Structure 1
Amino acid sequence: MADLVIISSSIVRPVINSQLGRTKIHLTPFDLTHLQYDYPQRGLLFPKPDPDFHLISRLKTSLSLALETYFPFAGRLVKVENPEDNSVSFFIDCDGSGARFLHAEAKSVSVSDFLQPDGSVPSFIQHFFPADDIKSSDGVSEPLLALQVTEVKDGVFIGFCYNHMVADGASMWSFFHTWSKICSSGSGSDHQPLILKGWFLDGIDYPIHILVSETERPQPRRELSPVAVTKDRVFHFTKKNISDLKAKANTELGSSELKISSVQAVSAHMWRSIIKHGGLSREKQTHCKVAVDLRQRLNPPLGKECFGNMAYLSSAIATVEELLDRGLGWAALQINKVVKSQTNENCKTFAADWIKNVKNLKLGVGGRVAGDTIVIASSPRFEVYNNDFGWGKPIAARAGPGNSISGKLVFFPGIDEGSIDVQATLWSDVLVNLLADVEFVEYVTTV
């Protein structure tokens, strides 16, 4: 364990917090599916700033300015009881309560400890994130955004977590980039006002009522084996790796009209390779859950920059036999079809059906622990390495322990243009077999 000490914990509020006409954000079925998900946790490793930079005071001052624009992150989740039908409802109250800010030190840790040459992620990294088992439903008492700035021997790690019902990865990284620009420039006056998603499906009344029994905090999940252990490893796909995978997938499909994307090719390679070593029977059904941004898939479409949660997990399904025997192109095609199927009509149908039969909220993202599912989180399209707070750009990006099940894959852009990093959480035995798989490692390098 890293020798980490919390120096201070405080609440940072927006610079201006007018209670007049404060915003209430109602939650859609797409938001509420995240009710029992852990807060997503991400972080960036930076070089060490000069001592005269006044790191903590500048970060807190600029955070206060950033929260003035991104005011939903400074709010709280409100739960309303509906005794007439034994249900509850939720909304976000943008009351300016503020975000949590932790300042920590780990003087025995250096940048090289983070950046293992084989791509392994050290276990101590979990202490560099500001949350432990906080779920979206806990937003009634916990801040909707928490940040931890940890000073190490020769660098700084900024870890954060956020309530997934308030925002998705696209909105979170937009906030983070704005915060970094304010810190670097010292001014928050030139940023555009926030555009809330302002969208609710026609014909659906809100607030949505959910049975009390479905909102109770789930029991800790039972692992498959008392000795089962997951480990994290970062796999680096170079621009050439990705080009080769795309070419292989598209050649196998043999269609000039259909084009498999970079993310789909990499996702399919990870899906097939992980399942191959999962010890499942050939007739077992497997799932590849992909987060799809719905903004441009609605009719009329929403603005690409609108703030909120518009991510929806949709599953590509295949048996082990199909996945392994039909090739990379076929697997990528299943993911391609799932992404394309997320249309305006599909969204309407999902939302209407979900409201009629609200269930399985307590499963969260870790509902499957049998090794038959991979979950693709985040995106290499997010602006990660262009965040400079005034003393240099990030050295590396890492994901925290939230929603850590075997098969969780967090995609980041690689630090080299056109590359992709995948932080994989896997059972130890699966990881060992994966690293020994010539067909898998042909297309990846460790970082």
Structure 2
Amino acid sequence: MSITPFTMKVLEQCSITPPPTTAPLSSLLPLTFFDIPWLFFSPSQPLFFYEFPHSTSHFTATVLPKLKQSLSLTLQHYYPFAATFTPSSDLTKPHLICTDHMSVAFTITESNGDFKHFCNNHPRDAKDFHLLLPKLASSFPHQGKEHFFPLLAIQVTLFPNAGVCIGFAFHHVVADGRTFHNFFKTWASYCCSFGSASAFFPPESLPLRDPSVIIDAKGLEEVFLKEWRKRRLVQDIAIGREPKLVDLSVNNHEDHSYFGFIAGGITRLDYPVPITYLGNCVGFGRASVRRKELLGEDGIVIAAKSIGSTIKKLDASIFAGAEKWISDWEVLHGSEQHVHATWSPKLKLYELDFGWGRPKKIEEISIDYTGAVSLLQSRDVVGGIEIGLALPKSKMDIFSMLFTKGLVTLP
């Protein structure tokens, strides 16, 4: 279901920089083996909708300065989010680059769209949501020259006298969902306490960017880098391009259906990593079920057991089969037969308050082209999960009918 065509008006475009001397000038941040698999993934594109029944003038005069200043203060702790990425044209190890000119693109727009429609739970046309997303600038290596890619962009859209949408585009190569949640939480805390001294963060709660805490005991970095170099030789997979993984070996997967998901690594490692670690520390899980079993009478039970078994294997050894993380996940991307999940209901995203109350709605828009489903903590049901799904209208109509029928027949 689409809505009446609406317009978008750009009010301001600027760059938000961290405070001076936040990071050493021209410092290089090496990627760990946890970061490298994310080179093959497209950016995340979450949208956070907040009720805000005020005028444009009120927003620009009182709220916008707080958002800008609090974001700058947040970037002093999360400065890698303002860094750039280079794929390294000589095919050596990719890395992040921090300079005194690093910044985050920040766009403010105004829309005459129906805010309530965006926050509803019925099916809606995904193309309407794309207008609320920031553009993450990208370029590609050319004639041996290195090019650099920003890791984060933000767009704030005001719906006058109705609400505000904060949209993100960010590359997971810089950090996992846990770190992004902490970044957003810090930004919201600074914004709420703007002009006061209440936003105090004890040193032990501040993020730690120290790749040395990640131990590569199994030599996975070189395994993943070989995959990276191999694919770059076959096709330019520079980060920022519309995501299309190079499928070098499909290995006859048609007899199975897979469900891929991300597993937290900090609690599963056999050595300590601070919970405030800034970066990626997650593993990849992939459950497998034969299609004929999945389509059988006990398909749901069989699928649940397979997922549970995969989780137990990750609990026992998160690195079991890790050398195949990239190739195993390759078949999931954009597939109609296989499914993978993004985000996690363990992240309390609906508690992120900028002073306007909790989000009214959260959507992950990248699922529109990745084929993933989003799993978020429910806003209103304790222990509940919100599932985001993007399908062509004909298939969404069938899914809605079957899903509703299933709810009716539940005991």
Q: Note whether the superposition's TM-score is higher than 0.5.
A: yes
Q: CA deviation at 1:60?
A: 0.7
SS in 2 for 1:340: helix
Q: 2:376 aligns with which of 402, 412, 417?
A: 412
Cα separation, 2, equivalents of 1:63 and 1:444: 48
- 1:26·1:206 contact (CA, 8 Å) conserved in 2? no
Deviation at 1:423, TM superposition (A): 0.8
Match of 2:303 in 1: 331
Distance 2:138 2:374 in 1: 19
Deviation digits for residues 276-318 of structure 1 (CA, Å, limit 9, x no counterpart): xxxxxxx732111111111211111423332211233321111
Q: Give me the whole-angstrom Cα distance separating, in 2, the residues matched to 1:34 and 1:18.
A: 26
Find out whether 1:387 has 2:352 as its counterpart: yes
Mapped partners of 2:366, 2:23: distance in 1: 35
Mapped contact 2:332–2:339 kept (Cα < 8 A): no
The match for 1:183 is 191
What is aligned with 2:12?
8
C-alpha distance in 2 between matches for 1:291 and 1:147 = 24
Counterpart contact for 1:296–1:304, Cα < 8 Å: no
| Letter of the structure 2 residue corresponding to residue 419 of structure 1 | G
> 2:331, 2:258 → 1: CA distance?
15
Query: Which residues in structure 2 correspond to 1:261-410 (within 5 Å)?
Result: 284-325=255-296, 326-342=298-314, 345-347=317-319, 350-351=322-323, 366=333, 368-369=334-335, 371-401=336-366, 404-406=369-371, 408-410=372-374
Residue of 125, 131, 136 corresponding to 2:129: 125
CA distance in 1, matches of 2:140, 2:331: 10
Considering Cα pairs closer than 8 Å and 6+ residues apart, tell me whether 1 or 2 has the greater RCO.
1
Question: Conserved in 1, the CA contact under 8 Å of 2:367 and 2:373?
Answer: no
For residue 135 of structure 1, report the CA deviation from its aligned partner.
9.9
Aligned-pair distance for 1:133? 9.0
Runs (4+) of structure 1 exceeding 4 A deviation are: 132-137, 205-210, 218-222, 343-346, 358-361
SS across alignment from 1:298 = coil
In 2, are the aligned partners of 1:405 and 1:425 still within 8 Å (CA)?
no
CA deviations over 1:311-333 (Å, ceiling 9, x no partner) = 33321111221113234222111
CA contact 1:38–1:403 (8 Å) conserved in 2: no
Q: Which residue of 2 aligns with 1:26?
A: 30
Q: Does 1:42 align with 2:46?
A: yes
After superposition, the Cα gap between the structure-2 partners of 1:19 and 1:179, relative to the gap in structure 1 and judged at 3 Å, is closer
**Which runs of 5 or more structure 2 residues have no equivalent in the other structure?**
245-253
Higher mean C-alpha displacement, 41-50 vs 208-217: 208-217
- Are residues 1:199 and 2:214 paired? yes
Q: Which residue of 2 aligns with 1:103?
A: 108
| TM-score normalised per structure 2 | 0.79
Alignment partner of 2:389: what SS? strand
CA 11–21 in structure 1, closer or farther in 2 if over 3 Å, else same: closer
Given the superposition, is the C-alpha separation of residues 316 and 126 from structure 1 closer, same or farther in structure 2, using an over 3 Å criterion?
Answer: same
1:21–1:418 distance in 2 versus 1, CA, 3 Å: same
Q: Deviation string for 1:354-392 (max 9, x for gaps)? A: 7xxx8699x6963x43x1111111011212121121232
Aligned residues: 373
Residues 38 and 135 of structure 1: is their aligned pair in 2 closer, same or farther, counting only changes over 3 Å? Answer: farther
Q: Give the match for residue 60 of structure 1.
A: 68
- CA distance in 1 between partners of 2:169 and 2:140 (Å): 11
Q: What is the identity, as a one-letter code, of the residue corresponding to 2:304?
A: A
AA of the residue aligned to 2:85 = L
Q: Which amino acid aligns with 2:159?
A: V
State the identity as a percent: 20
**What is the rounded CA distance, in whole Å, between the counterparts of 2:221 and 2:286 in structure 1?**
27
Report the Cα offset of residue 437 of structure 1.
Answer: 1.5
Matching residue within 432, 435, 441 for 2:397:
432
1:341 aligned counterpart, secondary structure:
helix
Whether contact under 8 Å (1:38, 1:402) holds in the other structure is no
Q: Do 1:12 and 1:98's aligned partners in 2 also have CA atoms closer than 8 Å? A: yes
